[in-house]
Amino acid sequence: MGIVVQKYGGSSVADAAGIKRVAQRIVNTKRDGHDVVVVVSAMGDTTDELRDLAQQVSPLPPPRELDMLLTSGERISMALVAMAIAQLGHTAKSFTGSQAGVITDSVHGRAKIIDISPGRIEAAIAEGAIAIVAGFQGVSQDTKDITTLGRGASDTTAVALAAALGAEVCEIYSDVDGVFTADPRIVKTARKLDSVSTEEMLEMAASGAKILHLRCVEYARRHQMPVHVRSSFSQKEGTWIVPTPEGEQPVEQAIISGVAHDRSEAKITVVGVPDKVGEAARIFEALAAVEVNLDMVVQNVSAAATGLTDISFTLPRADGTQAMAALAKIQDEVGFDKLLYDDQVGKISLIGAGMRSHPGVTAKFFSALASAGVNIGMISTSEIRISVIVDESQVDEGVRAAHTAFDLDSTEVEAVVYGGTGR
């Protein structure tokens, strides 16, 4: 049997009891005959506590030092998991991101993995040991400094390591049972999906579903790595994220996989932009210069009479102030009228690989939202996703209406476990 990579999130290793439970599960997998490599996050809220500590010392800590600080969180959890495994009579060795060969660029706080050189992990496996690797962290190729990959990036570490080791599967454990058709906290009848394609999962992650880190799914797709999302609190099968083989489409599948939502964005509208070649480019250059990631972008058709157009886009709320400042600086130069800022928006996305061959989907989605009294502000589509921006207060109604309209509601009565309970 081959290598299994397992990733355990902070809620799974929140305390000594959780660490022992996880250790037992790891040992069981080893006893089944697999080589096991484990990626762990920091215990519970450790990372947030460390951030608070940094805030007490410095409101704007140097990113290099913040990374040095935060990476101690996984160091603690991985050593404890290794100890708990030893207590069960198996050999485990823990490795920092640097020791595990997670080589990154030098962008502290959101470094990207450049390469994985898992020589020490392979050596540990060859000795019969279980390797425990710190998620979320790596070492800069250029400066040899410790880096972090950004919030939630332990998933990415796990999939990248699985790909580098040629693992047969990457299992992502958390406190939820798998991927659901919608957030069960909003839609009581949401169903767990048995499987979903990597492409759909990618759209879900980009649309606000927090179950998997976006970059992790991108990695899984690029390396054709099967990912199994499941709960560390039960033995139930979770959701398989299945790579679609090149040039092949599943013969028959549900048209719509799920409804995702996102309340983390804000909307900026640049009003009265002269409708000339290059004006829009100058606006987006100004935003790129301050490294703001845009999501949806919509430009209204120019009113011929005025020669002016409006450009709207969404972006993470955290970047709102910076983006507004950057745009205000170029107002005179570009000659637009004014800027509107709205952070009371939400995004609802319908995801399904069958969508492209079923033209009625958009109409049914918008009609369901209209019946629920949800007003649509912006629209953006991809081949397997339709997203709309609505008023933040209408997100829940909109998600429920779409979920019902596309027959996603479960007929089974079961207690659904989905985040937020602290488990």
Whether the Cβ atoms of residue 314 and residue 269 lie closer than 8 Å to each other: no
Query: Smallest gap, in angstroms, from Cβ of residue 138 to a copy of itself?
Result: 15
Q: Tell me the window of 49-57, 100-108, 354-362, 374-382 that interacts with a copy of itself (CB under 8 A).
A: 49-57
State how far the alpha carbon of 134 is from the alpha carbons of 60, 106, 286, 407, 422, in Å: 25, 18, 37, 41, 22
Query: Smallest gap, in angstroms, from Cβ of residue 234 to a copy of itself?
Result: 22
314 marked as binding residue? no
Contact characters 55-84, a copy of itself, x per CB under 8 A: -xxxx-xx-xxx-xx-xxx-xx-xxx-xxx
Whether the Cβ atoms of residue 82 and residue 92 lie closer than 8 Å to each other: yes
Q: Tell me the window of 85-93, 153-161, 185-193, 411-419 that interacts with a copy of itself (CB under 8 A).
A: 85-93
Distance CA 146, CA 333 (A): 41
Nearer to a copy of itself, 30 or 230 (CB): 30
Distance CA 137, CA 159 (A): 14
Dihedral sign (CA 213, 217, 223, 226): positive
Among 2, 16, 194, 321, binds a copy of itself (CB under 8 A): 16
Per CB under 8 A, contacts with a copy of itself among 90-119 are 92-94, 99
Distance CA 403, CA 180 (A): 11
Distance CA 205, CA 212 (A): 6
Per CB under 8 A, does 212 bind a copy of itself?
Answer: no
230 marked as binding residue? no
State how far the alpha carbon of 175 is from the alpha carbons of 9, 43, 58, 197, in Å: 8, 13, 33, 22
Where do the DSSP E strands lie in 153-289? 169-174, 195-197, 227-231, 239-242, 258-262, 265-274
Nearer to a copy of itself, 72 or 253 (CB): 72
Q: Which two tokens stand for residue 46?
A: 């450790």
Query: Smallest gap, in angstroms, from Cβ of residue 89 to a copy of itself?
Result: 11
Give the residue among 225, 217, 219 at the shortest CA–CA distance from 4: 225
Per CB under 8 A, contacts with a copy of itself among 144-173 are 144
9 marked as binding residue? yes
Per CB under 8 A, does 19 bind a copy of itself?
Answer: yes
Per CB under 8 A, contacts with a copy of itself among 382-421 are none
Q: What is the DSSP string of 364-404?
A: HHHHHHHHTTPPP-EEEEETTEEEEEEEGGGHHHHHHHHHH
Nearer to a copy of itself, 61 or 354 (CB): 61
Per CB under 8 A, does 45 bind a copy of itself?
Answer: no
Contact characters 125-144, a copy of itself, x per CB under 8 A: -------------------x
Contact characters 333-352, a copy of itself, x per CB under 8 A: --------------------
Q: What is the DSSP string of 261-299?
A: EE-SEEEEEEEEEE--TTHHHHHHHHHHHTTPPP--EEE
- Give Cβ neighbours of residue 57 (< 8 Å, ≥ 6 apart): none
Whether the Cβ atoms of residue 191 and residue 258 lie closer than 8 Å to each other: no
Distance CA 345, CA 222 (A): 32
Nearer to a copy of itself, 15 or 407 (CB): 15
Query: Smallest gap, in angstroms, from Cβ of residue 50 to a copy of itself?
Result: 7
Per CB under 8 A, does 268 bind a copy of itself?
Answer: no
Distance CA 172, CA 82 (A): 18
| Dihedral angle of Cα 118, 5, 124, 122, to the nearest 10 degrees | -40
Distance CA 191, CA 416 (A): 8
Per CB under 8 A, does 53 bind a copy of itself?
Answer: yes
Per CB under 8 A, does 87 bind a copy of itself?
Answer: yes
- Size of the residue set binding a copy of itself (CB under 8 A): 36
Nearer to a copy of itself, 79 or 297 (CB): 79
47 marked as binding residue? yes
Query: Smallest gap, in angstroms, from Cβ of residue 46 to a copy of itself?
Result: 10
Query: Smallest gap, in angstroms, from Cβ of residue 111 to a copy of itself?
Result: 16
Query: Smallest gap, in angstroms, from Cβ of residue 180 to a copy of itself?
Result: 33
418 marked as binding residue? no
Distance CA 267, CA 389 (A): 9
Binding site for a copy of itself (CB under 8 A): 16, 19-20, 50, 53-54, 56-59, 61-62, 64-66, 68-69, 71-73, 75-76, 78-80, 82-84, 86-87, 92-94, 99, 120, 144
Annotated binding site for substrate: 47, 74
Annotated binding site for ATP: 7-10, 185
